[in-house]
Chains A and B, each alone.
Chain A
Amino acid sequence: MPTRHTVTLPGWQIRITAPDRIAASLAPVLSSLSAAEPLPPLDVTVAEGDRLATGTVDGRVLWSVTLPQTGWLPLLLGQVGATGAALLRRLLFIHAGAVAIDGRAWIVIGESGAGKTSTVAILARHGAAYLTDEITLLDPAAGAAVPFALPMAVKPWTAQAVGTFPRGAEVAREGGVRFYLPAARAAGAVPVEAFVLLRPDGGGLAHFSRAELLMFLGEQQHSSLRYAHRLEDAFAGFSRLLRGARCYVLGAPFPAAAAELILAAARRG
C-alpha cells in the first residue's frame, strides 16, 4: 500500500506518495535540503508495483521515470534535486560540488567521474563546511553560493578514494550507494572565492580563463543555461559571478592531492 510522507523543508514542501520502503528512504535524504527562494510544492508519486515515478507541480506532470530494481534512490534524488533547481526564478544552478573554506565558497566542477564528490568529501574532512555535492546554487547579485545540502552519493570507488569520511551520518543506502551527510555544513550563503575545474590530465593547479570556464558551464547538461526562460539572465549572472571569482583548472593524480592543492590555494589567499 502506498503511504504518504510530507517533507516540509524551509521554502519547499515535497509530498511523497509511495510504497513505504521507497518513501522511508527518500524522505531522509531530502530532509537536509532548504530552498533559498520559495518553491511551489512538489508531489512525488510512485505507482503500485514500485516502478513508475512522477513529479508533479501545480497539477502539471514535470517528469515521469521508470525506476530500476537497484539504483532507484539516486535516480529519484536526482529528479527531485533537478526539479528544485529548474523551479528557481532568481538563483542560478550548475552541476558542481561546493564547500566553504574559511567562509569563502570553492566550487568544484568537472565531468562526471572527475572526482568532484571525493574532492568535496576530503575538503570537508579537512574542516571545510559542506554546501552541496551535485547541485550548486548561486546568487549572482550577491556573488554567493547558497547551501543545497543534498547528501553525498558515495559509490564504492568514491569511498575507496576518500578513505575516512568527514564527521557526519549515513542517511540512506541503496543499490550500493551510501547517502552521506557531513555534519559541518554552511548555515547560509557564502561569498564565492573560486571555481575549480577538475581535469584528468594532471598538471596541478593553474589559473584558468574565465571565458573558457563560462564555455564549460555552457556545455553542462545540468545548469540554468539549459532553460530557455533563464538563458539570458543565466548568461549575465554566470559572467558576473566569474568576474568576481578566481578560476582554476586542476589536474591531480588522486582526489586527496586535488584537495591539498585547493586548501593550499585557499590559504595563500
Chain B
Amino acid sequence: MSAPFLAAELDGEVVLLDVAQARLIHLDPAARQVWEACVGRTTGEVAAALGGPEERLAESLRSLAAAGVVREEDGRWWRAAPRWVGSR
C-alpha cells in the first residue's frame, strides 16, 4: 500500500484517512473485522478466521480493495497499515 493512512477508532468502528486522496473511509464493525483479518491470508483463510460464508466475504474484500484499504498479492490479502490517532 503506497498511500499512507491514518486511522481513528470510534466506538468499535474505524475511520481511515487516505492522506494522498484526502478522503475518509468508514469501516463499520463487520468491515473492520474483515479488514483486520487481512494479514497475508487467502480468502479461504480469512473466511475460516471469521467464520462467515466465503461468498459474502469475497464481496466484502472486493469492496475494501476498491476503497484501497486492502490489496491482494499472490492470492493473499494485506491490509493497509495505518498510523492510529488517539487511544484504541
Contact = CB atoms under 8 A, between A and B. Distances in A.
Nearest to A239: B8
**Size class of the contact patch on chain A:** 10 to 19
A218 interface: yes
B26 interface: yes
A155 to B, nearest CB: 31
Interface in A199-242: 209-212, 214-215, 218, 225, 228, 231-232, 235-236, 239-240, 242
A243 interface: yes
Interface stretch (B13-21, B38-46, B59-67, B70-78): B13-21
A240 B23 CA distance: 18
A194 to B, nearest CB: 15
A239 B19 contact: no
B19 A214 contact: no
Contact of A218 (B10, B14, B24, B87): B24
B8 to A, nearest CB: 4
Interface residue tally on B, bucketed by range: 10 to 19
Given A231-B22, A232-B19, A211 B11 contact: yes
Contact of B8 (A214, A225, A231): A214
Contact of A235 (B26, B28, B85): B85
B51 interface: no
A240 B85 CA distance: 8
Contact of B11 (A209, A215, A231): A209
Residue from the set B11, B22, B24, B87 with the largest chain A CB neighbour count within 10 Å: B24
Contacts of A235: 6, 8, 17, 24, 85
Given A209-B11, A231-B17, A214 B24 contact: yes
Q: Identify the interface centre among B8, B26, B86: most chain A CB within 10 Å of its CB.
A: B8
Contacts of A239: 8, 10, 15, 85-86
Contacts of A232: 6, 17, 19
B23 to A, nearest CB: 7
A71 B14 CA distance: 42
A221 to B, nearest CB: 13
Contacts of A231: 17, 19, 22
A236 B6 contact: yes
A210 B11 CA distance: 7
Nearest to B17: A235
Nearest to A228: B22
A225 B21 CA distance: 12
Nearest to A215: B26
Contact of B86 (A212, A225, A240): A240
Given A236-B6, A242-B10, A211 B26 contact: yes
Interface of B: 6, 8, 10-11, 13-15, 17, 19, 22-24, 26, 28, 85-87
